[in-house]
Structure 1
Amino acid sequence: MPKKIIKKFMPDHHTIKNNKHLQIFGDLLHNGNLWHLNRRSVAKAFAVGLFCAFIPVPFQMVLAAGIAIIVHANLPLSIALVWITNPLTMPAIFYFCYVVGTWILGASEKAFVFEASWQWLVESVSTIGPAFILGCGVLATLFSIIGYFGIHALWRYSVVKEWKKRLTRKVTK
């Protein structure tokens, strides 16, 4: 069942409640519904976490936490899913976003060499920025929808499977 698998990998809620960056949410973190694992809260958490993972902003975890609180999604899972874009995967994922953006715009890919400087960032916003931002938005939306409906389908499949097991046990007795 997805609930058992998710529960095994989910971070402890005390750790999240005590995170210094999430203290801005105050008493909102004490809402018990943010910590429950059910089909709706987990599906919303996947949508929120996957959406925020593709948004190229600092403090993605805080953004995911804020949205999770608003839509009553599972908070720890929303925050954990943001880490799909981590320092190792971020270059490949964001390059893919740029490629998707250029494909949608019908533009050609521009060659660029990354530099960790403010000057490079300002210059690249006008050259590769539109395609990158569009690609991030499209993939964030696409993967959040896939995550939401995928979790609903997986959860339903596992529940039906468990009911069939119960039925066969009941019949064999």
Structure 2
Amino acid sequence: MPRRFLQRYMPKPDTLKRQRSLRFMAPLIADPRLWLLTRRSVANAFSVGIFCALLPIPFQMVVAAIGARLSRCNLALAVGLVWITNPLTMPLIFYANYRLGSLFLDAPVREAPVHLSTRWIAEQMHDILPALFLGSMISAVFFAVLANAGIRLIWRWHVSRHWKRRRQKRRQRRARIEAEFDD
């Protein structure tokens, strides 16, 4: 089952509770409902994590933890999926979100200069932010819904495949037993 695969890579709540830097989150970590690996909790965790990852906000992991608590989904997955937007992928993802927002706002796209600087970004922020936030919200909602539906379908496919294999093994066992009795 997908559950076994996920359990192999997920941190244990007891290990996290013992870490000094996470003691302030002990009540959140202690809630056993936030560590369940069911089809619903995993699919919702993907939605929360991807949604938060695509938002251009600071402290995405904190927002994902709050979202996991509110939606009662798997905390570790929701927080871990925020790292989809890491320092390597963030510029590409947020630029794509900006382009999408510009398309919906029918605003001209600002081309980045050859030598990108924080000064240029600060000067252009007033023009960039509306398109960036709109594009981020659109892509965050779209990919969150897509991830939720995709995880539910993959989980269901995996479980049905497992049940079919079990049924085949049972049939083969019965056929062997019947062959032994016929001899």
TM-score between both structures, scaled by the size of structure 1? 0.89
Pick one of 116, 119, 124 that aligns with 2:118. Answer: 116
CA distance in structure 2 between the aligned counterparts of 1:148 and 1:166, rounded to whole angstroms: 27
How far 1:8 sits from its partner (Å)?
Answer: 2.8
CA deviation digits over 1:2-57, x for unaligned, max 9? 2233223323434544363x555441321101111111110110000000001111
Q: Is the 8 A contact 1:13 1:76 kept in 2?
A: no
CA distance in structure 1 between the aligned counterparts of 2:79 and 2:15, rounded to whole angstroms: 12
**Distance change >3 Å, CA 88–CA 15, structure 1 → 2:** farther
Larger radius of gyration: 2
Gaps of 5+ in 1: none
Gaps of 5+ in 2: 174-183
CA distance in structure 1 between the aligned counterparts of 2:54 and 2:2, rounded to whole angstroms: 24
Quote the residue 1:58 is aligned against.
Answer: 58
Paired positions, count: 170
**Distance change >3 Å, CA 16–CA 91, structure 1 → 2:** farther
Q: Is the 8 A contact 1:10 1:80 kept in 2?
A: no
CA distance in structure 2 between the aligned counterparts of 1:145 and 1:90, rounded to whole angstroms: 21
CA deviation digits over 1:54-105, x for unaligned, max 9? 1111111111011101111100111110000000110111111011111111
**Distance change >3 Å, CA 46–CA 19, structure 1 → 2:** farther
1:70 to 2:70 alignment: yes
Which has the higher mean CA deviation after the structures are superposed, 60-69 or 8-17? 8-17
Quote the residue 1:101 is aligned against.
Answer: 101
- The amino acid across from 2:117 in the alignment is E
Quote the residue 2:181 is aligned against.
Answer: none
Quote the residue 1:148 is aligned against.
Answer: 148
Q: Secondary structure at the match of 1:127?
A: helix
1:32 to 2:32 alignment: yes
CA RMSD of aligned residues (A): 1.9
Quote the residue 1:47 is aligned against.
Answer: 47
